[in-house]
Chain A
Amino acid sequence: EVQVVESGGGLVKPGESLRLSCVTSGFTFRTYSMNWVRQAPGKGLEWLSSINSRSSFIYYADSVKGRFTISRDNAKNSLYLQINSLRAEDTAVYYCAREGEYWEAPHFDFRGQGTLVTVSS
């Protein structure tokens, strides 16, 4: 069974940093592109970043470029998101999402419950 567990969220002050982790199991992690998507309270979905299986292609949304860094450790079946200079508008649930199995296109198979990041002084 595919399992994805996000962690690392919490209450932080503006300007602080946070590292989100996503530990996976039940599939061959090293062969999948992975993504981070967030959802602010009461709002829609926002794609943040994608990384391919070998970390050779990385993409960011303009809204987070320069502050967010995606990375992965295939030996640990894990995905990470380093978030620097946090702002109030970064308050959201952050989802780690695998690319789907059957379509070679950047899309999302969400299997975790997300981790909540709250930025407030």
Chain B
Amino acid sequence: DIQMTQSPSYVSASIGDRVIITCRASQDISTWLAWYQQKPGKAPKLLIYAASTLQSGMPSRFSGSGSGTDFTLTISSLQSEDFATYYCQQAKTFPLTFGQGTRLEIK
């Protein structure tokens, strides 16, 4: 199975900050990676797919990059509505696997 490891697990940041979350795969997954945003009590939302393509309707301050084993999710300028938990997921092979999540909180 492909293991997905996110870092950090927790980040505290302020409105307007630039935040980078990383996701590492245990083997090469090319760009078979998706990112999700989940707010408390809500279902996750698809944020980015194919490592760098922004899902329709999601704000352009979110961007994704990377290929192979190392990926990043960048929020260019944090807004209040961005405080949530973020998950990466590999889509290269079954079983599909998620990272453990990165909780983004207000400083």
Contacts and interface: CB of A to CB of B under 8 A. Distances in A.
Interface of A: 44-47, 50, 59-62, 95, 100, 102-103, 105-114
B71 interface: no
- The secondary structure that dominates the B interface is loop
Nearest to A65: B95
Contacts, number: 69
Interface residues of B, number: 26
Contacts of A45: 36, 38, 44, 87, 89, 98, 101
Contact of A44 (B32, B95, B100): B100
B43 A50 contact: no
Given A45-B87, A108-B34, 4 more contacts: A50-B96, A59-B95, A102-B49, A112-B43
A103 B53 contact: yes
